[in-house]
Amino acid sequence: MEIDEFIGKFAEIFDDTDASALTAETKFRELDEWSSLSALGLLALADEEFDVELKAEDVRQAETIADIFSIIQSKL
Amino acid sequence: MAACVPRNIEYNKDLTGIMSEEEAEKMIESVGIRERRTCDDTTCASDLCYAAAKKLIDDNGIDPQSIDMLLFMSQSADYRCPATACILQHRLGLSKECAAMDLSLACSGYVYSLSCAMAYASLPGINRVLLLDGETFSKLVNPRDKVNVPLYGDAGTATLVEKGDFDESVFILNTDGSGEDAVKIPAGMRNPVTSQSCEEKERENGNWRNDLQVYMDGMEVFNFAIRVVPKGVRNILSATSTAIDDIDYLVFHQSNRFMTDFFTKKLKFDPEKVPYCIGRFGNTSSASVPLTIVSELQGKLNDCKNVVMCGFGAGLSWGTANIHFKDCKISDIVEY
């Protein structure tokens, strides 16, 4: 999967945030809609799309969507 | 089976003191908990279980003297000593020949304690085991803990397991104590209670707690559940050579609807056959599986029904069971 497609999947976690508002460099924690529940959505996304176990610590360490994408890639 | 919940209702939409209206709405939508039942300071899990047990005994015309064993599954015991099961034996008028003991686990508790009840009921000399599973976790939550306040409700349940001509039930029980910190109440013999334990402190993300109140790392628990729950269901199906579509009902511990809906989807299982009572009662810890059965499956377990249940939580501890219900009589929910 390429980063653009991942950004599309990432946007699906949210109700009101469109993929067009996101880039690889978006700091996801600064998004209005980001919450602890979106973090759970992200863990589910990693499991469903990549069969990868994203740890709570991985999410805490990441700043941007690209960081998350590269953590997932490194676990493939 | 029977269940009892406190009369008092708390609505999650009213939690705007600790979160914004928008946050509360999202949480209700995603986790799926609109309201919860919480008991007052004078009511214990044993009171709720007592009321459920009385209802079960009365509705089914059970002679209390015919009960050979009483199990009380809870982490909300009346006292540190003696065991609550002993107190309930006397309150319920059970015989002095009745064995009674407490069992302690969190959200996996019902599956575990049902395995004990069934194992004892299969022994010579034991015909009836009364399993009481109740919790009052709402009392263990700090009102300024955004993570836990919206989740926990209180309930007591009663299940009577009898010796008889039943198809074999199968349990797979698991443990990973390396995750002991994921859900924890630190006070105990390891950290004796002092005046300092009662001091509320600000913790992670602006949540407040003292050492006698529950902490949960939501992401760790979610991750744990993703790893073990769908796999647990698949393992029990393969151990019993059952096709997933042959399950009549799949009953998950009621912790987070977003999560268990995700498991249902992952398992490609019919969501119509996954009952929920989380919207009305919240997470009642180990009581949630029997509460879901009593509130959602009344009149539906009349003939032979193939039910898979899965409990998972603090420990970390999880258990999956394939139970063949036969003419299970389910009473109306009692309010306390």
Return the pLDDT at B260: 93
Question: In which order are the strands placed within the sheet that holds B304-313?
Answer: B170-175, B317-326, B304-313, B249-252
Are A35 and B226 in contact (CB < 8 Å)? no
Among the partner-chain residues B27, B30, B226, the one whose CB lies closest to the CB of A43 is B226
Tokens representing A75 are 């676990």
Tokens representing B208 are 């407040």
- Per-residue pLDDT averaged across B143-158, rounded? 92
Which residues of chain B from 102 to 121 reach within 8 Å of chain A, CB to CB?
none
Are A36 and B23 in contact (CB < 8 Å)? no
pLDDT at B154 over 90: yes
Residues of B31-59 as b/e, b for ≥16 C-beta within 10 angstroms? bbbbbbbbbeeebbbbbbbbbbbbbbbee
Which residues of chain B from 145 to 174 reach within 8 Å of chain A, CB to CB?
147
Return the domain boundaries, chain A: 3-75
Return the pLDDT at B303: 87
pLDDT at B78 over 90: yes
In this prediction, residue B236 has a pLDDT band, given cuts at 50, 70 and 90, of very high
Contacts of A41 in chain B (CB under 8 A): 258
CA–CA gap between residue B208 and residue B142 (Å, rounded): 7
In this prediction, residue B31 has a pLDDT band, given cuts at 50, 70 and 90, of very high
Q: Minimal CA–CA distance to B90: which of B104, B108, B70, B113?
A: B70
Among the partner-chain residues A15, A43, A47, the one whose CB lies closest to the CB of B219 is A43
Are A53 and B262 in contact (CB < 8 Å)? no
B35 CB within 8 Å of a chain A CB: no
CA B107 vs. chain centroid, Å, equals 5
Among the partner-chain residues B219, B226, B256, the one whose CB lies closest to the CB of A39 is B219
Q: How far is CA B102 from CA A22, B176, B213, in A?
A: 53, 22, 21
Distance from CA of B220 to the nearest CA of A (A): 6
Q: Please give the torsion angle defined by the CA atoms of residues A52, A58, A60 and A65, in that order, rounded to the nearest 10 degrees.
A: -70
Distance from CA of A37 to the nearest CA of B (A): 8
Return the pLDDT at B186: 93
Confirm whether the ipTM is greater than 0.85: no
A48 CB within 8 Å of a chain B CB: yes
Greater pLDDT, B72 or A21: B72
| Counts for chain B of helices (H) and strands (E), in that order | 8, 16
Greater pLDDT, B145 or B126: B126
Q: pTM of the full predicted structure?
A: 0.91
Distance from CA of B218 to the nearest CA of A (A): 8
Q: Minimal CA–CA distance to A43: which of A35, A31, A32, A55?
A: A55
Backbone angles phi, psi at A52, to 5 degrees: -115, 140
Return the pLDDT at B23: 85
Contacts of B266 in chain A (CB under 8 A): 47-48
Which residues of chain B from 245 to 264 reach within 8 Å of chain A, CB to CB?
256, 258-259, 262
In this prediction, residue B194 has a pLDDT band, given cuts at 50, 70 and 90, of very high
CATH code at B1-336? 3.40.47.10
pLDDT at B148 over 90: no
Return the domain boundaries, chain B: 1-336
3 state SS of B112: helix
Q: Is B118 left (phi over 0), alpha (psi -120 to 50) or beta?
A: alpha
Are A35 and B23 in contact (CB < 8 Å)? yes
Q: Which amino acid is at A66?
A: A
Alpha helix stretches (DSSP H) within chain B: 21-31, 45-59, 84-91, 109-121, 218-239, 257-266, 278-281, 288-296
Candidate from B92-96, B223-227, B292-296 with smallest mean pLDDT: B223-227
pLDDT at B49 over 90: yes
The CATH architecture assigned to A3-75 reads: Orthogonal Bundle (1.10)
3 state SS of B98: coil
In this prediction, residue A16 has a pLDDT band, given cuts at 50, 70 and 90, of confident
Probe site for chain A from B226, B229, B231 (most A CB atoms < 10 A): B226
- Residue in chain A closest to B265 (alpha carbons) equals A48
B30 CB within 8 Å of a chain A CB: yes
Distance from CA of B137 to the nearest CA of A (A): 22
Contacts of B147 in chain A (CB under 8 A): 36
**Sign of the dihedral defined by the CA atoms of residues B271, B274, B275, B278, in that order:** negative
Q: Is residue B76 within 8 Å of B44, Cβ to Cβ? A: yes
Q: Is residue A53 within 8 Å of A75, Cβ to Cβ? A: yes
Catalytically active residues of B, by annotation:
107, 253, 283
Return the pLDDT at A36: 79
CA–CA gap between residue B25 and residue B323 (Å, rounded): 36
With a CB cutoff of 8 Å and minimum separation 6, the contacts of B48 are B4, B5, B6, B39, B134, B136, B154, B155, B156, B336
Are B27 and A37 in contact (CB < 8 Å)? yes
Probe site for chain B from A12, A17, A40, A50 (most B CB atoms < 10 A): A40
- Per-residue pLDDT averaged across A48-63, rounded? 89
